[in-house]
Chain A
């Protein structure tokens, strides 16, 4: 069996990229970027499996690893908080260098084992009885590894139940009913609670983004019309600057001289700008 030239090119294109992505796991700060690096490595591995006469494993790699496992990772990242950047401060002094040294030592030991051992001449999987790769795999599994297959099935069921049990949260109080919620709302009225739905963000002539507050009937901006997340992050825009920008626009369009309308403020121009 000889390795084709195409496969050689594929290997030398993919292998450096894979090593680069895998070392990205060591240096990137955000966990999401690390997840993207791992996804790249896994997809490249699937390509290498297909090139190595294992098309079934290549497909399984894409379906199981990139499809299920990495998506699960991303879901957990969203639960835990995407913004959670890893702290790079060392708690154990010199841990970084010791860890790098150990990794380098592991690589050199394993590489030395491979370099010093003699392998038989590669035979390839061309003569597997004239059946396709999945059929050949199925024959081996069903002839020699039936018990292992069953045990693995039990393991998967156990893992699924364990995942359910571990992430299950018991309800501590009674579930709030609709009546209780309504009564709580009414009871909170004196503290400034609104019964009606919150007002939508403002729509201006040139701007109708979520971060611009709406104006009430007197022309004052309504703070709570901007979504709470934007307010907490401080990404809310001031109504005043928008209104002045719109006013200049109105003046230019209508060609109104500035003098006859001296009292155009945010309040009085509300009708024409909104």
Chain B
């Protein structure tokens, strides 16, 4: 098996995450799509590290994980704040700038 199969898997997961962000209305599901995209890039980074025989790719994936954890904390806090103010977790309802 070629190592590129891992890269193709990562591409498919990334595209599925991006489509989730485009299609879903629930803010939390949209956020899960972003997490899926981050995970897909991590898989690609780990595969590249193995391909080139250099653990730097794994270090980068590690940094991506840390930043993703920080991002999740802030993002979910924002979602909770919006839900408290507007009683809704749908992206369609956050249209204060409209009208």
Contact = CB atoms under 8 A, between A and B. Distances in A.
Nearest to A165: B77
Most chain A beta-carbon neighbours within 10 Å: one of B43, B59, B84: B59
Contact of B80 (A41, A57, A76, A110): A76
* Interface SS of A by simple majority: helix
A169 B83 CA distance: 13
Contacts of B81: 166-167
A17 B67 CA distance: 27
Nearest to A128: B55
A95 interface: yes
B32 A57 contact: no
A26 B26 contact: no
Given A23-B16, A137-B55, A45 B79 contact: no
Contact of B73 (A77, A145, A159): A159
Contacts of B32: 25, 34-35, 38, 73
B8 A42 contact: no
B50 A125 contact: yes
A96 interface: yes
A69 B80 contact: no
Contacts of A3: 1-3
B96 interface: no
Given A11-B6, A155-B67, A52 B50 contact: yes
Nearest to B66: A152
Nearest to B22: A99
Interface in A74-103: 76-77, 79-81, 84, 86-87, 91, 95-96, 98-100, 102-103
B67 A114 contact: no
B94 interface: no
B73 A103 contact: no
Contacts of A96: 23
Contacts, number: 229
Interface string B64-99: 011111111110111111011000011010000000
Interface stretch (A115-123, A225-233, A257-265): A115-123
Contacts of B36: 22, 25, 38, 41
Interface in B54-68: 55-56, 58-59, 61-63, 65-68
Contacts of A34: 28-29, 32
Interface string A1-21: 101000110010001001100
A3 B47 CA distance: 12
Contacts of A8: 1
Given A61-B42, A125-B53, 18 more contacts: A11-B5, A19-B16, A25-B17, A25-B24, A45-B42, A54-B61, A56-B58, A57-B61, A68-B69, A73-B72, A76-B79, A80-B28, A95-B23, A103-B18, A120-B51, A152-B63, A163-B76, A166-B81
Given A52-B46, A162-B74, A156 B26 contact: no
Contacts of B58: 54, 56-57, 133, 137
Contacts of A155: 66-67, 70
Contact of A167 (B3, B70, B80): B80
B77 A102 contact: no
The 6 closest A-B CB pairs, nearest first, are A103-B19, A123-B53, A107-B15, A159-B70, A166-B77, A99-B22
